[in-house]
Structure 1
Amino acid sequence: GPWTDIYALGATLYKAVTGVTPVDGPDRVLEDTLEPVAANAGDGYRTSFLDAIDLMLRVRPEARPQSIAALRAALSEVSAGSSGTVTVCSVPSALPSPAVSAPSEVIAAARQSETRELRPRKPYALLALMGAALIGLGVYLARDGLSPGPTSRSGEPKRMAQVPQPPNDPPKERAKPLEPRDERPAELPPVAPRALPPSQPQMPPAPVPKEDRRADPAPSPVPTPAPAPTQARGWLGVRIQDVTKEIAESLGLADTNGTLVAAVTEGGPSIQVLRRGDVILEVAGTSITNARDLARRIAAMTPRSEARLLVLRDGQRQRLSVPLGTLPAPPVKSDKERYDDALRRISAQPLPGLEIAALTDELRRQHKLQPEVQGVVVTSVSPQGQGPEKRLVVGHVVVEINGESVRTIEDVRHRVATALAAGRTAVLLRVAASGRAERFVALRLEAR
C-alpha cells in the first residue's frame, strides 16, 4: 500500500539528512537498531521536520501515514508549526533547465540561496521541494564518482552536492554509440547478398572443394610417422634376464629387483664396462624391477648419452657410467621369409587340438559322407582343446580355411602358415558333416 512508498520516501530523506542509509523495514521487526534522524542530522533542521521523517520510518505499517493525504497533513503541521527563519538549500526554479550542466553557476546559486529566508509555504510547495530534492538525490546516487559538495559551510554541503543534476550527460554519452551503429548499416549494402543473382551461374565452382580434398592427401602421404624409425633408441648391448628368487638368494639380495647380465655383446657399448654376472639395480637413481623394465628405460634414453648404473658385482655395489649406443633396427623380413618361419613352427598337426587326415574312400564310408564332400576329416578331438567348445567332433570335414579349399594336410599347413605370416591369430574353417548343413568355425592359433 501507500505506506510502503511512504517508508521509501522517509528512507530517502533520512539518507539525505544524515548521509546514512537506514535499515530495511523487515530487518527491524525483530530488533530495531535504527537511530532517530535527529541523532545524526546536522544543524538547521526543524525538530518537527525530523519527527515527520521518523514517522514515515515507523516499523509497523499502521504506525506510518496511511496515504499521501495523511502524509501531506503531517507535513502541513510541520510547515504550520515552523517559527522563525530556517536556512536550507533551495532548489533553483529552473531545475530541469540544461543550464545545470555548469557546476560553478549552480553552486553559486546555491550559495546565494543559503542566506535566503524561507517563509512558511503551503503544504504542496513543501512537497514540491521535497520531490525536487529526491530527484536530485537520485541523480547524485547514480553518479558513483561524485563526492559531497565542495563547501563545508553551515553543515549542509551534502545537500548542495545534490543540486548539480547532470541529466544532459547520459544523453550525450548515449548519443556517441549511435554513430558506429549508423556506420555499420552503411557497410551492409556492399555485402554479397546483392551479388547473389549474378553469382548463381558460378555454382559450378563447387568442384573446388574436391580439388582441396585432392590436395589434402598430398601432405598426408608424407610419412609423418617416418621419423619414428629415425628416432634412435638407446642400446646397452647386453643380454639380460630376470632375477628369480633363487638367484637373489644365491647373490645375497633381499628381493628380486634388478636384472642379471647374462652376456655382453661383442663390440657393444658396454663391452668395456659391464661383465657377465653383474646385476643392474638402478638406472639414473631409479630402481629396476625386472629385465623388461631395464630394456624400456634404456630404449627411452638418447643414444650417445651416459647411462648411470648401480651394479652389484662380486657382492659389492658399484656405480658405473656406460655410453649408450643406438639400438639396431630389427631386420625386415620378406613375405617368403615370414612364411618359411611360420611353416617351420607348425607341427604335423597344424590345427590346435584336432587331428586330421586326408579324406579317403574308407573314411568316407565310415563317416557316411557324400561323394561331393571334399576336404580333410577330423579323426581325433582333444578334450582340453578348442574342439569341444566349437562343437567339433570326429567325422567333421574341414572343407575350406580362410576361403581356400583344402584337400591334404599340406594344404592345411600352407593355409595356417600364410595366416601366421600375415600376423593373424585365428583361422576361419568351413566345416561339413554327414546329414548336417555346413557352418563356419573360428579356430585360434596357438603361439608356437
Structure 2
Amino acid sequence: MDQTRTAPAPAPVRLASGGPARDAWPLDQAVVHLNHGSYGAVPTEVVRHQDELRRQADLSPVAWFPRAPELVAAARREVAPFVGARAEDTAFVPNASAAATVVLNALRLEPGDEILVTDHGYGAVTMGVRRLARRFGARVRTVALPLAATADEVVERFRAELTGAVRLVVVDQITSPTARRLPTARIAELAHERGARVLVDGAHAPGLIADAAADAGADWWFGNLHKWPCAPRGSALLVTQAADRDDLWPLIDSWGAEERYPERFDTQGTMDTTSYIASPRAIDFVEREYGWARARETMTALADHGTAVIGAALQPYVDAPVATDVGMPVVSMRLLRLPDGLGRDRTDADELRLRLLDLAGVESAFTSVAGVGYLRLSAHLYTEPRDFDAFVERAVPQILAFADERRGR
C-alpha cells in the first residue's frame, strides 16, 4: 500500500463523557504534539488525582508515608492484570531503565559467558548490559537485524547467534529507535532451549500490546506506564516468575529490604510514590472514556494518516520511500525517512528534535539507523489530523532547510 497517498482523515476522537479527547489533556495548544512515545502525556483528571495525593502527603507527612506502601501494593494489584501479570509477580519501579538495572545488578556471570543484544536496542539498557559484562569478564555480542526483517527472519538471526556460551538475551518487545515489534516469545523459546535466560525490554509495550508481560515470554519483563497508558512520569512495572527473583532488590535499600519480592519494592522511604499510586486512574481513564482495544485501532488509523500526510510532503525530497517498512509495525508509531544529510547519528537526530521545537513549535522524535535519519511519528487519542497538517506547514520547511545546511548548499 502506498502510504504517501492521502485518504480521508479520521475524525477527531470524542470521549464517552462527550468532549473532544484533546481537551482531556493539559497540553500546550500552541505546540504540535507528535512525540507521545518519548515522555507520554498525562490526562488532566490524572494530574489532579496525583496532585491531591501529594497534597495529602504535605498536609500530614506522618500519616502519609507509613501508609504509602499499602497504597503502592493496592495499585500494584490493580495494574498487574493490565499487562497480563499477577500482582505477586509485579513490582513498581521508576522507569524501564531502572527495571533493567535491577535485573542486571542481580546477575552473576563467568569469564567467557556471552550476552546477546540487538542493534535495535535502547542505548541506556545496552550500556547497562556492557557494564554487567565488564564486571565479570563476559562478552556482549550484537545480533544485527535488518530494519524490514520479518518475524521468521529475526528468529533465524537469533538461532544463528545462540551459541552454548550465551547466558542472557536482552531483546525489545517494541524497539524504541526503529518503532517495530520483535517476536520475543519465539526468541525466548529458542533461547530457553539453548540454556539462556531472557530479559525483555517492553518499555513501549503496555497499552500497545494487550497483556504485554504475558505476551513477552521472558524470564524478566519490564514496561513503562508513563508512555502509552498515560500514567504520571516515573511509573513502570517489573514482572517475573523466575525462581531466583528474591535476588532482585530496589535500587535503594529501605525498610522493606528484608521482605520478599515484590513487597520489598513497595517501601521506598520518602520517595514520591504518587506516580505509582495514580497509575490505575490513568489506565481506567482510557478504558472508561474510550476502551483500550478501540484506542489501539484508533491510534493505528491516526498513525497511518499522519504517515500519508507527512510522507506526501517529504517524498519529493527523499530518494527512497518515505514510509519505511519495519517488518513488524506497531500500533501507534511509524518511521518516515528524512532527506539525505539528516540524522546521520544520534547527536544529529537529537539536534533536529530541539531545533523543530524551538523554531517551529513542534514536538517530534528523530532517530538514526545505520547512518540514515528517520522521523519517528507517534500518535495518541488526543492527536488530531490537523496536527499532521501543522507539521507539514511548520516543520517540513525547517527540515528541508536543515538538510540543505547539512549538505553544504
Bigger radius of gyration among the two? 1
Common topology (TM > 0.5) = no
TM-score (norm 1): 0.17
Greater relative contact order: 1 or 2 (C-alpha under 8 angstroms, separation 6 or more)?
2
